[in-house]
Structures are given as structure tokens and as C-alpha cells.
């Protein structure tokens, strides 16, 4: 994978994120974001407009929601023609569609 290109970096990061979600690995999730990180989860896990602030708050929210949301086979949508904002799973169920 070419991590020198923007899409290559996004793809590498997202692959690690997908593995951490599917294997429910808190340490791996935390390693993927910097300490001062913000996540507004509108449709991925909570359907809530609350903004999570910090690596620990985000990891705690994601891990808590994995009991209800079971993201599997997530991937970057190939139809986006280079757009790095379109991520979906083949099933497209709540908890399996998000954006970065």
C-alpha cells in the first residue's frame, strides 16, 4: 500500500481502525487517535450529536457501543473516486456506516 499518497494514508489508518473495531481492542483504538481528538458521532454508533473529546472518551464510547453495533466488513467506498469521506460496509446497517 502506498502510504505516501493521501488515499494510501487514509486506507492504512482505516484498515487498522476496522481491525480494532472487529476485534474490540481498546489499546489499538486509542493508538489510532491523538490525545486531543474530537468525534461527533451522528450515525456510526450512537445517533447522538454529542461531541466526544479526547482519545479516552472516544475509545470508551466506541467500546461501550460495540455491544449494540457490530461493524463488520467496513471499507472505503470505491465509488467515491478518490473522496476520502465516504466509508460504508456492504450491508450499510446502522453502526456500519460512517465518515472520516
Alpha carbon distance 27, 31 (integer Å): 6
Contact 45, 69 (CB under 8 A): yes
38-70: pLDDT as tens digits: 888 777 777 778 888 999 998 888 888 887 887
Residue 22 pLDDT: 85
Number of Cβ atoms within 10 Å of the Cβ of 26: 13
What tens digit of pLDDT does each residue of 64-95 get? 888 788 777 787 776 655 554 444 444 544 44
Amino acid at each position: 500500500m502506498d502510504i505516501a499518497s493521501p488515499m494510501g494514508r487514509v486506507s492504512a489508518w482505516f484498515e487498522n481502525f476496522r481491525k480494532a473495531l472487529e476485534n474490540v481492542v481498546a489499546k489499538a483504538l486509542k493508538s489510532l487517535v491523538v490525545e486531543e481528538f474530537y468525534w461527533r458521532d451522528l450515525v456510526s454508533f450512537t445517533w447522538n450529536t454529542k461531541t466526544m473529546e479526547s482519545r479516552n472518551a472516544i475509545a470508551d464510547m466506541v467500546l461501550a457501543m460495540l455491544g449494540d453495533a457490530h461493524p463488520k466488513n467496513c471499507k472505503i467506498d470505491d465509488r467515491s473516486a478518490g473522496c476520502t469521506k465516504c466509508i460504508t460496509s456492504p450491508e450499510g446497517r446502522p453502526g456500519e456506516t460512517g465518515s472520516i
